[in-house]
Amino acid sequence: MTSSEELKQAAAQAAAQRVQSGMVVGLGTGSTAAFAVSALAQRMRKEGLQFIGVPTSERTAEQARSLGIPLATLEEQPRLDLAIDGADEIEVGSLNLIKGAGGALLREKLVEASAAELIIIADASKKVAQLGTRFPVPVEVVRFGWKTTLARVEALGCQAELRRTADGDPYLTDEQHYILDCQFGPIADPAKLAEQLKATVGVVEHGLFIGMATEAIIAGPEGIETLRRP
């Protein structure tokens, strides 16, 4: 593994230790979250850990099933003890997040809004002083009239681009929506922007996760750092 992958794995393993038998756990999406799913499966095999997972994407559900993790839908388990997921950017101090590079922001937000705790796992490169510094804000939009939605989103002060697959086709979420990757630059007021995006006609959801993370477990060259929301 590269050093970045080793750091992600270290953070994931630390978060997996927070899960106790009997819990209902939200399983995030993305390369870092995949390490957490693997770490939880390992605890099942070695320690007899018993829990139910609620996946945030079809991709995560497939991985969890292949590892023997029992799954439920959000309808079946509407209250979660905790959720574990990665992030594209973590704003130090507030623990506000940008998420959605993996394309699962809508289901992630639905699952994680139902969790008593949201633990974010990442390597140190994901820490930023201000959201929007390194990553665009993903915005999930309905396919019908998406160009008009793009224009409305750009009127909020960004450059928006339709996300595409490696083949050049529009990327489709699990809910069959499009994603606009929106370059706002450093965001002075993420909460205000979140409200503006949510109120935009054609927008289904956005990748600004405001006030949702309770804790971030961040792995760096000097070890594990734990940040908690004030």
For 92-106, letters b (16+ CB in 10 Å) and e give eebbbbbbbbbbbbb
Sheet of 159-162, strand order: 159-162, 178-183, 137-141, 203-206
List active site positions. Answer: 108
What number is the average pLDDT over the span 105-124? Answer: 98
Structure confidence at residue 1 (pLDDT): 42
Residue range 77-89, pLDDT digits in tens: 999 999 999 999 9
Tens of pLDDT, residue by residue over 130-180, are 999 999 999 999 999 999 999 999 999 999 999 999 999 999 999 999 999
CA angle, residues 116, 133, 27, in degrees to nearest 5: 30
Confidence of residue 3 (pLDDT cuts 50, 70, 90): confident
Q: Tally Cβ neighbours within 10 Å of residue 20.
A: 12
Instruction: For 171-218, write each residue's pLDDT tens digit.
Output: 999 999 999 999 999 999 999 999 999 999 999 999 999 999 999 999
pTM strictly above 0.75? yes
Give Cβ neighbours of residue 143 (< 8 Å, ≥ 6 apart): 170, 176, 177, 178
DSSP code string of 181-227: EEE--S-S-HHHHHHHHHTSTTEEEESEE-S--SEEEEEETTEEEEE
Q: Which amino acid would we find at residue 152?
A: R
Using a 10 angstrom Cβ sphere, with 0-12 exposed, 13-18 middle and 19 or more buried, the burial of residue 2 is exposed
User: How many angstroms separate the CA atoms of 109 and 56, rounded?
Assistant: 8
The alpha-helical segments, DSSP class H, found in 69-187 are 105-112, 146-154
Domain architecture of the chain: domains with CATH: 3-125+210-220 (3.40.50.1360), 137-204 (3.30.70.260)
